[in-house]
């Protein structure tokens, strides 16, 4: 029935911190939407939102200059070709007053600043650094998985908080 060509976005997208607490944030990322068409930035795309999407808690804390590793599974029949990681500042009050983080809908409840491109990776591992130019505050950390053959993108995100700077040298 052709089921060997089913796109299966990664189940596990993890952040491995290489700084002060050396922890793994397993299962913190949720698929927010799938984009059909790889013309990001044009009106030729169709976005399908995940009805079960929510922001996750606890909210991990990063420091500017901090190194971290993205680890995403590549064990599906059809795997992504590349992944792009972006940090998007939340410019509205977060979390909104009298609202639990899990009840916030980023598409309607939050305002965002200009995304900061942290880089790309292929395979299951990518190394990144929080730029020193990022201000303290709350951000959405996005990972976009591109399936070029099928002309689609899966967008995952999680809320993170930036506080101060790391003591490690880049």
For residue 141, tell me if it sits in a domain: yes
pTM assigned to the model: 0.81
For residue 64, tell me if it sits in a domain: yes
For residue 12, tell me if it sits in a domain: yes
For residue 170, tell me if it sits in a domain: no
Tell me which residue has tokens 């599906």. Answer: 76
Q: Which residue has the higher pLDDT, 79 or 91?
A: 91
Bridge partners of residue 34, in order along the sequence: 48, 154
Confidence of residue 39 (pLDDT cuts 50, 70, 90): low
Is the pLDDT reported for residue 70 higher than 60?
yes
Is the pLDDT reported for residue 46 higher than 80?
no
For residue 11, tell me if it sits in a domain: yes
For residue 113, tell me if it sits in a domain: yes
Q: Which residue has the higher pLDDT, 135 or 157?
A: 135
Domain that holds residue 111: 3-165
Cα–Cα distance for residue pair 97/87, rounded to 1 Å? 23
For residue 159, tell me if it sits in a domain: yes
Q: Quick one: which H or E segment has residue 167?
A: none
For residue 71, tell me if it sits in a domain: yes
Q: Residue 145 is part of a domain; what is its CATH number?
A: 2.60.40.10
For the chain, what is the mean pLDDT? Answer: 79
pLDDT tens per residue across span 85-144: 999 999 998 888 888 888 888 888 889 999 999 999 998 889 999 999 999 999 999 999
Confidence of residue 8 (pLDDT cuts 50, 70, 90): low
Q: How many domains does the chain have?
A: 1
DSSP-derived secondary structure for 19-56: SSS--EETT--EEEEEEESS-TTSS--EEEE-TT----
Is the pLDDT reported for residue 27 higher than 60?
no
């Amino acid at each position: 029935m052709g089921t060997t060509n089913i796109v299966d976005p990664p189940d596990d997208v993890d952040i491995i911190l290489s700084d002060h607490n050396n922890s793994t944030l397993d299962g913190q990322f949720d698929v927010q939407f799938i984009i059909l068409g790889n013309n990001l930035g044009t009106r030729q795309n169709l976005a399908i939102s995940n009805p079960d999407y929510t922001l996750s808690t606890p909210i991990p804390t990063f420091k500017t200059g901090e190194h971290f590793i993205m680890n995403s599974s590549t064990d599906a029949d059809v795997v992504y070709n590349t992944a792009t990681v972006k940090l998007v500042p939340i410019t509205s009050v977060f979390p909104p007053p009298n609202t639990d983080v899990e009840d916030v809908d980023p598409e309607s409840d939050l305002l965002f600043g200009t995304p900061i491109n942290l880089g790309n990776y292929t395979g299951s591992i990518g190394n990144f650094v929080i730029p020193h130019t990022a201000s303290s505050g709350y951000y959405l950390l996005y990972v976009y998985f591109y399936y070029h053959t099928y002309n689609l993108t899966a967008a995952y995100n999680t809320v993170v908080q930036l506080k101060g700077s790391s003591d490690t040298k880049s």
